[in-house]
Structure 1
Amino acid sequence: MLMLLQATASLLLIAGSALAGPVARADKNTVIYGSKGTVSLSSDGKKPYIMILYYGENFEGHPTFEVVSASGDTSAFELTYAESKYAFSNYQSDGPHPLAAAMDTYRVNRYNITKREIFSNRLRLRKIGVKATVHTTPLTKLPGGFECSDEDFNHIWLTGARTAQLTEIPKYTIPDFWQVSKEGSLVESSAPQALSSAAAAQLTTYQLDFQVKPVAGEFSFSILSDNLNEAIIVTCDVHNGKVTATGASKPGPIPSSADAKVGEWMSVHAKVNMTEIYVLVNNETVLDFSQTEKFTALLAATLDGPEIYSNNLTDPSFLKDFFVGTNHADTIVDGSRRDRIAYTGNLDVVIGSTYSSTYDNSFVEGSLDLLGSYQATPGFFIPTAKIQQEPFRELLDINITGLIGYSFNFLNALAKNYEVLGDKELAKEWAPRTTAMLDWAHSQLKNGLFTFDDPALTGDWNYYDPPQTGASSKFNTLYAYSLQQTQALLKDAGANTTVYETRLENLRKAIHSNLWSDTLQAYVLSNEITIGLAQDANALAILAGIPQSHNVSATSLLSTMDRELQLEAGPLAFSNATAKYGFAQKISPYASAYHLRAAFESDDDVIVRSLLKSLWAPMANPAHANYTNCFWETLDPDGTPGLGLITSLRHGWASGPTAEVSRYVLGVQAAESGYKKWDVKPLTLGLEWAKGRVRTEQGNVEVDWKFKSGLLEMTARGPENGNTEGTVYLPRPLPMPLEKSAIKLNGKVVKGDKFTVSCGQKITIKQTCA
């Protein structure tokens, strides 16, 4: 595609949904084009010319274009990106992003196009498109696969696979966001970054000195930043002589005596003393930096003088100190547009969908190694890590964390990884870290329940809701689930699991005795809030076997959840009764992933279909107004994106159905870790047919079942390598009952409803009328 640029000032080109698509692998030469025709753009300098390129789904990569020609004043060419067209109603589109770590957080890039040339920074100009940076194998050619007679289910599986694919960031694909030269470092469109040391994140009194040359009239810097770059941002608009700061009641002027000018170096001194903050420019005023500027000679020291950090910023070696360099390992991020950082909390869900579709285990390994290195000496884990850093080599000597539930989620992710790979060396490596977390959790029991009164520790994935202090059903059922799920890993590592089995039994009893409500017929939110329920807590209770061990059926609890939570657009994450305590009425695909898993595990096909059809099918429908071929972070009760423009419309934690459909509708499950023994137990869900494959370390397990005139025809093939053994069960329920029919295995009439498959063997099952 050629583009003819003919424009004066205020030219604006808007590229929509420029982030994902079907290619082969992460090939730096692969470009996904948004337009193949020649495009001419012109403006009178007052009204911008706007063109929208619609890609149809999310693409991820570095935008690219090449200038063919330009005339007149083309100094204000802008390229804007968005996940949905609605975002273009806002000049900044769906940015700048919070929680974006060291990414380019802005969604609008401006270029001063004055001559024919190639732009090597972010975009070039001829053939408007996106250079892919993720593995984009066509979804139908992934190692895992699924297809059935219900198109909604097909869309759901593929959309989850695409979501997983887009959250897998290959190593060395993140560019150095600071351009380092002998003069200093040029910073364009990037959020200020905190120093990476643990000590720096805890500092509340210090002083900072640097030199800056604003290139485009404005600069900013951050103070009192946490490791997610939530900070006080001070912005200095040198061109207009105005200073603003996060939390400041009003902007302040830059006095003429400061002699601050665009294009000239100036000195900045910041003094932070808890709530008292002073910033001086050329010894005169207070400010902070952002957008485009150059920096050099950075020095940070405590108030009494000892130096914390010093660097001239003229050699790229400092980039690692602020995590603004490239990424050194394949990793999975929370969301590929926003939250491009690694989280422990979503891995339990994402690892399942990854192994069911892309089977890119290097991304799983990279994520576990990075996040697992963030374990503190008490045993819990820090919930987040920037993917630009390398794993720590020793435990962190700190005694505080946040999002405590994510530490349990991480253990479940380890268990899932071991279930798939079956590598006993991995089990031995992770067993001590696992027991450290479980032992710490046991030390926090009060009256038999995991109890925390500190709100700093008891936030969760729903960061917009109040913390769940006291004895929370969510954290206790999640703890119980972790005790249950890690049994195989610990046992195969040679650990004595008796103590953990006993703790699980006792915890189940304590949860049911103290948190079950006969009135509600569910587990209450916590011992402090007893009139409402949380979706994930009750789903996890089922998965951990808590109600079942107390003569309460899983289906009855699922019925309560359906009554209290289900809306037309999906189930609420918290029942309406919790709203008076400040809990938002939102629909969470993340919490619903556990709900779906519990319904599948309980053979409740009515609830399974309800969840898939109400929540995930609309998001996976190409006709949906906000369709991105990816699943979303959260939804409002009406089914629209739940957090407005900042909502991530491709969030890995929402991809749960891809794993669950492969596990339960195809029916392929590991009976022993590493699929040394495996089962095929299909749940038919009223479908006419289903087929697909699940990758294992020994090869594929392939399944194809269908009903012809109500009679079953089925084939199953085991992995070709290794020494595996499978057991294939008849799908349930059968339209024609088994007692009214005959079953032929490889052409011979046999008895029973399950059959053994040896390594590499293919079996054929056919049902006939008796």
Structure 2
Amino acid sequence: MLLQATASLLLVAGSALAGPVARADKNAVVYGSKGTVSLKSDGKKPHIMILDYGENFEGHPTFEVVSASGDTSAFELTYAESKYAFSNYQSDGPLPLAAAMDTYRVNRYNITKRETFSNRLIQGAFRYQKLNLSSHGELRLRKIGVKSTVHTTPLTKLPGGFECSDEDFNRIWLTGARTAQLTEIPKDTIPDFWQVFKEGSLVESSAPQALGSAAAAQLTTYQLDFQVKPVTGEFSFSVLSDTLNEAIVVTCDVKSGKVTATGASKSGSIPSSANAKVGEWMSVHAKVNMTEISILVNNKTVLDFSQTEKFYGSFGLGAPLGHSAYFRNLKAVTLDGTEIYSNNLTDPSFLKDFFMGTNPADTIVDGSRRDRIAYTGDLDVALGSTYASTYGKSFVEGSLDLLGSYQATPGFFIPTAKIQQEPLKELLDVNITGLIGYSFNFLNALAKNYEVLGDKKFAKEWAPRTTAMLDWAHSQLKNGLFTLDNPAFTGDWNYYDPPQTGASSKFNALYAYSLQQTQDLLKAAGVDTTVYQTRLDNLRKAIHANLWNDTLQAYVLSNEITTGFAQDANALAILAGIPQSHNISATSLLSTMNKELQLKAGPLAFSNATAKSGFAQKISPYASSYHLRAAFESDDDMIVNRLLKSLWAPMANPAHANYTNCFWETLDPDGTPGLGIITSLCHGWASGPTAELSRHVLGVQAAEPGYKKWDVKPLTLGLEWAKGRVPTEHGNVEVDWKFKSGLLQMTVRGPKNGNTEGTVYLPRLLPTPVEKSIIKVNGRVVKGDKFTVSSGQKVTIKQTRA
């Protein structure tokens, strides 16, 4: 019922209020409604209005109260990427994973007078905004909008650009660029999560954020003490919390006396003898002995229970939705009294300990709404799209510096890092990580960054960390294959699926791809790459000998699951040259993938046979980004078109019910968001086509690192024309090609700066073959299919019939 009501109200809001998105000149406010809107409720039936911003935006919500009469104390604004999320009171939240945005998608206001409200915390990506007045009163509001914190350069004015004769492809490129823009978080834009005063720290409607040290994350036993002064009635704290704040969360309601522990489904009560009151300081003590937890308020036991949900982790402080409290004098000690952490919480310097301060560097996060955290795996795809569109070099460098600092002493990397911190100074002395594939992804991101920039200082800085990871991987070979039996290592981007233990085709192909891609970086740093080339040759042989299945005509999921296969494993195998080195064409493997995986809404991430082993039937834009790259690299225009048209074109279509002008995290087989309302509808790992269209349809590629030498090799995909620009450190490479009456007209201009040299190839395929035509370059008849371009030079190629 709520969905139907929401949909009808949405039409009203869209026609009467929202109109085209307007942007204020001075303060970069995007308005859902700039004019005056009225809400009136009798206190029984709420007045609800939905504003549609047309696409995703983020930032600090703001609105102006024109007038308020009666009781306007119960006014709420709720945010959603998809309007269907409004079927849930909390919309597509809460979002406790990090302190980089508001925990809750519902904001409550007690309005008593005419004033302007601007939220202190950021709301991540949203397209829709629900206004809800439920108290008996009337409100008139205007200038309802959001102050963006990310860069807002119009997409057609970005450093990179792409346009062609296919409107779907144009939308896809722009949607990927917008996804990149929304996931590039400028430094110093994240506000402090708490407000810190001399009295203590004020926490308002915020999930507990765990103490961020590596040691704290491994704690199994400790005692926690703090003082709290509830402002409203409730406060909360977490124990045994992981880094994404999944924890045992204890909530104390001082007014009702009720105490609950979520994550353990336990409850207790505050006795009257504790004398706990709203507005007065009280002491809280928690004793954690792995499964045994006891809570005291003012030295009176309020909860004592056993649990088997969480066994280790850190601690944090918070306040539930609609509540606030002051905290001070936090102290954690071991069971024998040795100090773990202590702070009086009256100076903002402690915020960094919990990753609750501002962000010190430009960084790229996974999603604008969820998780708003940096991930190595996501960066591998997002980096290319960033360079093709926004050319956000500082965002790439900030992300590489932060994520790369999370390297462990064996050589692998921790896959994620919260952006409110400086890079670590030392290697982490740990012997385990999760998502092992992401460590290889990170090496590929380093290699791509070197390819784009050609910075030898960068290569020398990162070569030792690269070889450490590659050498560790080599130490894990069994029978020539990278093999891990510990399931803690072998999860992947698809966290909801079983780990890929044993010899996984995905991890082996990814390892091979890393050996291949990092060679230029290593050579630039003076590393003798002979040993790594030998390892690559041997690994290719071992993968094909042990993981290729003649019946499936594909590389199996792993040596433990041989009845089905993974999309990304086989795409990466193509990119790493594995089937090609064994006389199997890339197009034949792509044909197998098309036959076994392709649905109307896009390709499945795992073949149907893997469902028996517990793998979900989902469509992954992330895995498909590698699939698309493999199809482009193989000149398989049929598969390229099918992937772009089936998967990415619907997401980029403004008529789609869940359109946000951003690409999504995951899809179900029917093409709807794959994780329900929590699905991120702005996820950088899905933006692969933006990089690939620039690289292959415009055809601009670095022939030498840093584009000192560059190629233009367009793949036409049956298009009538394409044009655009690819930014480099030396300036833009500009390309414009088209066919008139089946004959090519093409213009290429090299970068204006630097001493570069380009080679321009005739597009593939030409409607009129070269042998039946005359090719003129700058008016002169030439032979061959490639031509040289110098820095700043403009070359015009014209084809006529012989």
TM-score (structure 2 length as normaliser) = 0.92
Instruction: Choose the corresponding residue for 2:465, options 409, 423, 433.
Output: 433
User: Where do residues 633-672 of structure 1 align in structure 2 (5 Å cutoff)?
Assistant: 633-672=665-704
User: Where do residues 355-754 of structure 1 align in structure 2 (5 Å cutoff)?
Assistant: 355-754=387-786
The reply to whether residue 135 of structure 1 matches residue 151 of structure 2 is: yes
Superposed displacement of residue 122, structure 1: 2.8
The reply to whether residue 255 of structure 1 matches residue 288 of structure 2 is: no
Q: Structure 2 CA distance, aligned partners of 1:539 and 1:723?
A: 36
Match of 1:9 in 2: none
Q: Structure 2 CA distance, aligned partners of 1:21 and 1:331?
A: 27
Q: Secondary structure at the match of 2:463?
A: helix
Superposed displacement of residue 443, structure 1: 0.5
- Structure 2: runs of 5 or more not aligned: 1-11, 123-140, 304-316
> Structure 1, residues 455-483: CA drift from partner, whole Å, max 9, x if none?
11100000000000000000000000000
Superposed displacement of residue 232, structure 1: 1.4
Instruction: Choose the corresponding residue for 2:53, options 33, 55, 61.
Output: 55
Paired residue type of 2:386: T
Alpha-carbon distance change, 130 to 660 in structure 1, aligned in 2, over 3 angstroms = same
RMSD of the alignment, in Å?
1.9
Moved more, 48-57 or 214-223: 214-223
The reply to whether residue 175 of structure 1 matches residue 191 of structure 2 is: yes
Q: Structure 1 CA distance, aligned partners of 2:118 and 2:765?
A: 59
Q: Does structure 2 conserve the Cα–Cα contact (< 8 Å) formed by 1:21 and 1:58?
A: no
Match of 2:369 in 1: 337
Q: Does structure 1 conserve the Cα–Cα contact (< 8 Å) formed by 2:778 and 2:796?
A: yes
Match of 1:285 in 2: 301
Superposed displacement of residue 312, structure 1: 1.1
Moved more, 215-224 or 450-459: 215-224
Paired residue type of 1:395: L
Moved more, 29-38 or 124-133: 124-133
> Structure 1, residues 710-733: CA drift from partner, whole Å, max 9, x if none?
011100010011010000000001
Paired residue type of 2:145: G
Match of 1:90 in 2: 88
Alpha-carbon distance change, 664 to 624 in structure 1, aligned in 2, over 3 angstroms = same
Q: Structure 1 CA distance, aligned partners of 2:119 and 2:107?
A: 11
Alpha-carbon distance change, 121 to 88 in structure 1, aligned in 2, over 3 angstroms = closer
Q: Secondary structure at the match of 2:64?
A: coil
Q: Does structure 1 conserve the Cα–Cα contact (< 8 Å) formed by 2:63 and 2:118?
A: no
Paired residue type of 1:199: A
Q: Secondary structure at the match of 1:81?
A: strand
Paired residue type of 2:462: W
The reply to whether residue 160 of structure 1 matches residue 176 of structure 2 is: yes
Paired residue type of 2:388: S
Q: Structure 2 CA distance, aligned partners of 1:15 and 1:92?
A: 21
Q: Does structure 2 conserve the Cα–Cα contact (< 8 Å) formed by 1:163 and 1:655?
A: yes
Match of 1:11 in 2: none
Match of 2:250 in 1: 234
Q: Does structure 2 conserve the Cα–Cα contact (< 8 Å) formed by 1:102 and 1:190?
A: no
Q: Secondary structure at the match of 2:446?
A: helix
Match of 1:44 in 2: 42
Instruction: Choose the corresponding residue for 2:68, options 67, 70, 73.
Output: 70
Q: Does structure 1 conserve the Cα–Cα contact (< 8 Å) formed by 2:247 and 2:263?
A: no
Q: Does structure 2 conserve the Cα–Cα contact (< 8 Å) formed by 1:22 and 1:139?
A: no
> Structure 1, residues 195-220: CA drift from partner, whole Å, max 9, x if none?
12211111110010011122222211
> Structure 1, residues 88-128: CA drift from partner, whole Å, max 9, x if none?
11111110025334532210011111233444553897511
Q: Structure 2 CA distance, aligned partners of 1:55 and 1:445?
A: 52
Q: Structure 2 CA distance, aligned partners of 1:289 and 1:736?
A: 68
> Structure 1, residues 124-143: CA drift from partner, whole Å, max 9, x if none?
97511100100010000000
Report which of the two has the higher share of strand: 2
Q: Structure 2 CA distance, aligned partners of 1:113 and 1:43?
A: 14
The reply to whether residue 213 of structure 1 matches residue 229 of structure 2 is: yes
Q: Structure 2 CA distance, aligned partners of 1:122 and 1:397?
A: 37
Q: Secondary structure at the match of 2:66?
A: coil
- Structure 1: runs of 5 or more not aligned: 1-13
Paired residue type of 1:176: D
Paired residue type of 1:740: K
Superposed displacement of residue 410, structure 1: 0.2
Superposed displacement of residue 764, structure 1: 0.6
> Structure 1, residues 630-655: CA drift from partner, whole Å, max 9, x if none?
00000000000000010000000000
Superposed displacement of residue 48, structure 1: 1.4
Paired residue type of 1:245: A
Paired residue type of 1:226: D
User: How many equivalent residue pairs?
Assistant: 754
Paired residue type of 2:215: A
> Structure 1, residues 650-695: CA drift from partner, whole Å, max 9, x if none?
0000000000000000000000000000000000000000000000
Q: Secondary structure at the match of 1:130?
A: strand
Superposed displacement of residue 243, structure 1: 2.0
Alpha-carbon distance change, 449 to 101 in structure 1, aligned in 2, over 3 angstroms = farther
Paired residue type of 1:290: A
Q: Secondary structure at the match of 2:108?
A: strand
Percent sequence identity is 87
Q: Does structure 1 conserve the Cα–Cα contact (< 8 Å) formed by 2:98 and 2:209?
A: no
Paired residue type of 1:623: A
Q: Secondary structure at the match of 2:643?
A: helix
Q: Does structure 2 conserve the Cα–Cα contact (< 8 Å) formed by 1:236 and 1:289?
A: no
Alpha-carbon distance change, 534 to 198 in structure 1, aligned in 2, over 3 angstroms = same
Q: Does structure 1 conserve the Cα–Cα contact (< 8 Å) formed by 2:331 and 2:342?
A: yes
Match of 2:102 in 1: 104
Moved more, 480-489 or 272-281: 272-281
Match of 2:350 in 1: 318
Moved more, 27-36 or 353-362: 27-36
Instruction: Choose the corresponding residue for 1:190, options 206, 218, 236.
Output: 206
Match of 1:204 in 2: 220
